[in-house]
Structure 1
Amino acid sequence: MTVLLVFGLFVVIATAHNITFLEVPRYGDPYRDANLNCHYINEKDDPDLHSVKWYRGNHEIFRYTPGQQPPTRTFNSTAGGVTRGSCNQHSCAISVVLPKAINTRISFTCEVSTEGPRFAVVKQTKNLTVAVVLKEDPIITGMPGSVQFGEEVPLNCTTSPAMPPANIVWYVDGKAERREPWMVNHTQVSHPDEFGLRTSWRSLRVRVNTPRGYMAVRCEATQPIWPPFVRSTNATLVVARSPHLSMFTASGINPAVSQVSVLVMTVTLHIFSKYSALSEI
């Protein structure tokens, strides 16, 4: 960053290091420290690095000043302090304690400044939401090897433990399951485990009514946090063909018409066989 300051006939150029990347996880487990990292570079004519500061909201929680001894300093915070810090001329990493309140949103800022006389400053901010997100995609159970046209298939979708628990929605051939207006949410939630995490599950009875040879189903689990955390699983129901009607259905003939055709062919063959037997007498 370059700023031109004009005082009379003098031009003073104040430059700061550039922050190339700020690593702040989007979600943080309340039972684990969150690891943050700030990466920065200096241009050829930049002054030396003066300090790197970390802020939690508006409160400074950590400072790295390479020209001082000791070079690092932590600041007390009622919301949770810094447990570890490791910094150098190009990066500064810290680990912070997170609050236990789920869905708490915290902003972390990395501020980098260069030596005087102007002490130019550059900063970046990212947000972290406290939550135990789903570690795996949901699991679909009850999938048969194949199904028949008109058959009703019971399926179930289950998530891994998380907090807050996920809401589950089923999709059949890309469309959300049909629900009555009074059906707010049929997702079932378990009791909390020893860590306070809950498992979600939801059942679906899907009727096979497609003329195609398959039906696509998808289970989508969404945790109600900001931004929402989503995991999903896809599966395919294979629709078996009737062996007696396959030659008609393959040609696109209506199954009802094909049944009449089979009946006509059967009667014709019976009459023909009877006539042939009479002609031999």
Structure 2
Amino acid sequence: MFGWLSLFGLVLWNQGLVEGIRLLELRVPAHAPEGGAALLGCQYDLEGDQLYSVKWYKNQREFYRYVPNNRVPTSHFPTPGITVDITRSSSTVVALTHLTQASAGRYRCEVSGEAPMFATVYEEKDITIHYLPKTGPRISGLMNEYDIGDRVMLNCTSSGSRPEAHLKWLINDRPVVRDHVRGPWYRVSRERMSTTETILELRFTIMPKHFKKGVLSIKCQAVIAPLYQDDVVHQILWNDNYYSTIASPVEIFEENQLLPSPALNEMKSLGFPPLPTSEEITDNASQSQAHLPCIVLIALMLRFIL
């Protein structure tokens, strides 16, 4: 009897009444976060056939099965790294939760038609599991105050992750030139030995051109594509009296290397008040000397009275 059914199936197949099952799309995320969830999708076209089963495998080990003619159509089997949310799973979708490092591997969806042919098609894709940082990147080496000409030396450190995070420095949202960056360096995280921390150093000298509307923005960005991106920002505000902390006006004129002409021109273009001229400094000094005898006389009178 079974032989006649098989022969009948072959006749139908040859006449094109049963064209064969086709897999339309296999949706398996290439990357997923540890501790997170993943939704696996398997879309197919029966092409006139009847569905016998849909099976899912991880590394050639079956962990989920859907058989529409069974009393309970869905069933799942213990597999390391696999936790199936059966309430959200069906003939075309399997929901995985509580992903671990053991969840990484090759996943296969296999669709089979009914007897007598039991035509079967399948497709496979890989999942990589990432351990994402628990906190954002952090900047160390910051000073309380900065002036023009100060040397900035900072480290940016990412939290432990797998794989390691890619770090990038930005000044005013523009990537820093390579000459101002050292690293990256890597070290095992104390929080979790299987993860890695990344360290990237930034070194540059503060100049007036670094300030945009009176603010210098320094940002460190951490990326683990395509699942994670975070950053930390520190802002340095322009000090209107910064030149008084560098040198007195006389020193500025006598030691023109402290503030060369281009720097003075840039200060003027940014709207800062002009520095006093040498004549103004000399006049102020002369006026102070002219009042000196009066000041001495008043001091002597006060001493005699008291």
Structure 1 pair 92/228, CA: closer, same or farther in 2 (3 Å)?
Answer: closer
By percentage of residues, which structure has more strand? 1
> What's the TM-score, normalizing by structure 1?
0.61
Whole-Å Cα distance in 2 between the matches of residues 6 and 266 of structure 1?
104
Greater radius of gyration (CA): 2
Report if the CA contact (8 A) 2:56-2:63 is conserved. Answer: yes
Moved more, 227-236 or 127-136: 227-236
SS in 2 for 1:178: helix
Report if the CA contact (8 A) 1:164-1:197 is conserved. Answer: yes
Which residue of the partner structure matches residue 108 of structure 1? 107
Structure 1 pair 168/248, CA: closer, same or farther in 2 (3 Å)?
Answer: closer
Q: Quick one: percent identity of the two aligned structures?
A: 20
Equivalences for residues 106-185 of structure 1 within 5 A: 106-115=105-114, 123-141=122-140, 147-166=146-165, 168-172=167-171, 173-178=174-179, 185=183
**Counterpart code for 1:233:** D
Whole-Å Cα distance in 2 between the matches of residues 164 and 114 of structure 1?
41
By percentage of residues, which structure has more helix? 2
Please point out which of 190, 206, 210 is paired with 1:208: 206
User: Any stretches of 5+ residues in structure 2 without a counterpart?
Assistant: 1-11, 244-263, 290-306
**Counterpart code for 1:252:** S
**Counterpart code for 1:130:** I
SS in 2 for 1:12: coil
| Deviation of 1:232 (Å) | 4.3
Alignment pair present for 1:84 and 2:84? yes
Structure 1 pair 270/90, CA: closer, same or farther in 2 (3 Å)?
Answer: same
> What's the TM-score, normalizing by structure 2?
0.57
Alignment pair present for 1:189 and 2:187? yes
Equivalences for residues 1-281 of structure 1 within 5 A: 7=14, 10-14=15-19, 16=21, 22-24=27-29, 26-29=31-34, 35-38=38-41, 40=43, 47-69=49-71, 71-74=73-76, 80=80, 82-84=82-84, 86=86, 87-94=89-96, 106-115=105-114, 123-141=122-140, 147-166=146-165, 168-172=167-171, 173-178=174-179, 185=183, 187=185, 189=187, 191-193=189-191, 196-213=194-211, 214-221=215-222, 231-233=229-231, 235=233, 237-243=235-241, 249=266, 251-252=268-269, 259=275, 262-267=277-282
Report if the CA contact (8 A) 2:133-2:159 is conserved. Answer: yes
CA RMSD of superposed structures (Å)? 4.8
Structure 1 pair 251/209, CA: closer, same or farther in 2 (3 Å)?
Answer: closer
Whole-Å Cα distance in 2 between the matches of residues 159 and 123 of structure 1?
41
Q: How many residues align?
A: 252
Residue by residue over 1:5-55, the C-alpha shift from the partner in whole angstroms, topping out at 9 and shown as x without a partner, is 984xx33343647656624361353xx586443254769x85543321112
User: Any stretches of 5+ residues in structure 1 without a counterpart?
Assistant: 275-281
Residue by residue over 1:62-87, the C-alpha shift from the partner in whole angstroms, topping out at 9 and shown as x without a partner, is 3221213553455676xx36443623
Whole-Å Cα distance in 2 between the matches of residues 244 and 262 of structure 1?
18
| Deviation of 1:235 (Å) | 2.5
